[in-house]
Amino acid sequence: MSSCKRKERTLYFSFEESPEQLVRNMATIGINFKKAIQSKLLHIHASRPSLQGLEMHLMVLNRLLTELKPRTVIIDPISSLITIGNSNEVGAMLVRLMDTLKIKQTNALFTSLTHSGNSANENSTVDLVSSLADTWINLKNEERNNERVRSLLIVKSRGMGHSNNQQDFTITGKGIHFTSPDKK
């Protein structure tokens, strides 16, 4: 939304939600996509990973980059790509996409769903792109004292000062609100 408010085009590539679902879900937390979509500053493209292979998804992304010339691209979530390719194939596709975005000087936001536990694939997509990313933000949803707590931690941010503290937050109908830092 910040890009749209600056009158910059944004491409949101969704692998899990339809445009209608995304608009509805964001509205529940006070973020209204409708004006940005109507003004053509926000374009939402939804495609199930299994609909086509990695190369076709990359081809569609490249076509949309050329047509829309977005300043910001959001890929949500890259972890869905593991369902249609192995780690090496997904990694190669993401590196090519990141290279293209960097050449075009396009801001990119990739999300990845990870699970804590002993799964061998728990962070495979994070591992694929973490060294290439300039900023890495870890969002958690965990149980503390019999309560669900959401928190944010900036793992790294090249060339920018940032807090090393985990910051708890809540999501309300008026947006995201940060609470005081967790004293551990």
- For the beta sheet containing 42-46, the strands, ordered from the edge strand earlier in sequence to the opposite edge, are 42-46, 10-14, 72-76, 107-110
Q: What is the CATH number of domain 2-122?
A: 3.40.50.300
Q: Binning pLDDT at 50, 70 and 90, where does residue 119 land?
A: very low
Contact (CB, 8 A) for 18 and 45: no
Contact (CB, 8 A) for 141 and 148: yes
Whole-number mean pLDDT of the chain?
88
pLDDT of 43 reads 98
Percent of the chain whose pLDDT exceeds 70:
90
Q: Is the peptide bond before 77 cis (omega within 30 degrees of 0)?
A: yes
Residue 116, pLDDT > 90, answer no
**Domain layout of the chain by residue ranges:** 2-122, 134-184
pTM of the model: 0.83
Q: How confident is the model over 62-72, as a mean pLDDT?
A: 97
Q: How confident is the model over 65-92, as a mean pLDDT?
A: 92
Rounded to a whole number of angstroms, the distance between the first and last alpha carbons of the chain is 33
Contact (CB, 8 A) for 110 and 73: no
Residue 75, pLDDT > 60, answer yes
pLDDT of 23 reads 97
Lowest mean pLDDT among 20-29, 105-114, 129-138, 142-151: 129-138
Q: How confident is the model over 106-112, as a mean pLDDT?
A: 92
pLDDT tens across 120-177, in order? 445 566 676 777 788 889 899 999 999 999 999 998 999 888 988 999 999 888 888 9
